[in-house]
Structure 1
Amino acid sequence: MIRCLVIDDEPPALAILANYIRQVPFLELVATLTDPVAGLARLQQGHVDLLFLDIQMPRLTGLQLLRLCGPCKVVLTTAYAEYALDGFEHDVVDYLLKPISFERFLRAVSKVRAPLSIPASPPSFVPPPVYFFVKGETKTKYLRVKYSDIIYVESLHNYVILHLPAGQRIITYHTLKEMVELLPRPPFLRVHKSYIVSLDHVRILDGNTIHVHDKELPVGETYREQLYQLVRASRP
């Protein structure tokens, strides 16, 4: 097993990587930390093979921590492409640009697995986390959301609206593309350029319209065939 530590000052980014790590049989999640100083202390205790490290953090940047972290493999994560060259000068394994797709994540960890000669393990089902955190209306505020409570997600420019039971809504600073990466599939599926739905809450699928609770949403042509394939596969 490759023991992984994730350090990022944004809980949503931690949740995405933790979810990805749990889905890979040869990876083991040691811890997720938002404080880089606490992360450095954890690294100094040993027993970490692979570090996922954000660059832009308060108190101690990822590149500063990189100079102190000792002998472990490092994958840098950041929303800023201009830091890539600095990372590779420190001999990191890979550089992941946010939002990080699962496919790109797998390509990065495969670079670590090969040199360590980790024997292949049979695939196993790992249930996704029950909840995750999204950004609130202030920089330091995060809201806890249960996956099962999300009925559908609606795009609002650089924000999204999470529609929850009893008419509750959460507006958070995420793009719909980021939410596609964050939400487990299934049950979540993008059905339109502006909507992601939870298949657990779908009542009726009728042509290019999908009924989710008491709301009718359009199904885009780009996503229609994939949706109908899932419907046909679920029939008895």
Structure 2
Amino acid sequence: MNTLNCLVVDDEELARRLVINYCERVPYLNVVGEAANPLIASQLLREHDVDILFLDIQMPEMKGTDLLRTLRHPPAVILTTAYSEYALESYELDVTDYLLKPFSFERFLKAVGKVSESRPGPVSPIYSAPAAAPEKSYQLVKSEHKLFRIAHADILYVESAREYVIYHTATGKTMALGSLKALEESLPANFMRIHKSYIVAKDKVEMLEGNQVKVGAKMLPVGGSYREVVKGTLFEK
């Protein structure tokens, strides 16, 4: 199959690195550029022939969907976002697929496959990815010169404390260097950000009351920009 040129647009460097890494694992994908905001992306689209645009939605200055509306002849678009409420809008914009962060390599391949199937020309053999290692069921956490394995199933929530994060479980808490932004990329899909200072395990959330959720015996604040996502993801049928 012919090579597909890709442009990766996301304001978070870790998110761009993940998509680029996934692209590099697929023989027929070629990354021609990356951009941290839609304005740079617009320039790169004029400079390169782009077949697939990996596009984040929530970015400073301009949303990814706003950029998409300015393109007269957009390439195939795969939206990448942490916010599920944009799914309907993505269908209205006729995007190829919608990847909800954090997404696996297998889910990434499925999205890319939709692009390759829609293009004329010889069909490439199905990409045989190496057998994926089982998803880790724990976090490796270094604290007080010790290395801990904290099972994902045991985590109630994770709290930000300046340059540290605190893992809260039913049996106690563990503090380690780190950031919630980095954790969002490494924790499995059962975890979600509810506030600039908190990530919770979805299945441990018992109640939503005003702008707070109950996790275990603790009431945690829900940021204003997260409330609708929390409500729609956890408390609507």
TM-score normalised per structure 1 = 0.55
Q: CA deviation at 1:86?
A: 0.5
In structure 2, what is the Cα distance between the partners aligned to 1:86 and 1:76?
Answer: 11
Confirm or deny that 1:44 pairs with 2:46.
yes
Structure 1: runs of 5 or more not aligned = 126-150, 162-168, 182-236
> What's the CA shift for 1:170?
3.6
Q: CA deviation at 1:10?
A: 0.7
Tell me, yes or no, if structure 1 residue 157 matches structure 2 residue 139: no
**Partner of 2:91 in structure 1?**
88
CA offset at residue 157 of structure 1? 1.7
Q: Percent identity?
A: 41
> Residue in 2 aligned with 1:111?
114
Aligned to 1:59: 61
Distance 1:119 1:43, change over 3 A: same
The Cα shift of 1:59 comes to 1.4
CA distance in 2, matches of 1:104, 1:63: 21
Q: What residue identity is the alignment partner of 2:116?
A: R
How far did 1:33 drift? 1.1
Which residues of 2 match residues 202-213 of structure 1 at below 5 A?
Answer: none
For the structure 1 residues 122 and 13, does the alpha-carbon distance in structure 2 shift closer, same or farther, using more than 3 Å as the test?
closer
With normalisation by structure 2, the TM-score equals 0.55
Mapped to 1, the partners of 2:180 and 2:28 lie a distance apart of 33
Q: Does the 8 A contact of 1:7 with 1:32 survive in 2?
A: yes
8 and 153 in structure 1: CA distance in 2 versus 1, 3 angstrom threshold: farther
Partner residue of 1:145?
Answer: none
Contact in 1 for aligned 2:78/2:111 (Cα 8 Å): yes
What do the CA deviations read for 1:105-129 (whole angstroms, capped 9, x no partner)?
111000001122453388699xxxx
**Contact 2:15–2:185, Cα closer than 8 Å, also in 1:** no
Corresponding position of 2:76: 73
Aligned residues: 151
1:157 touches 1:175 (CA, 8 Å); kept in 2? Answer: no
Q: Give the alignment's Cα RMSD to 1 decimal.
A: 3.0
C-alpha displacement of 1:179: 1.6
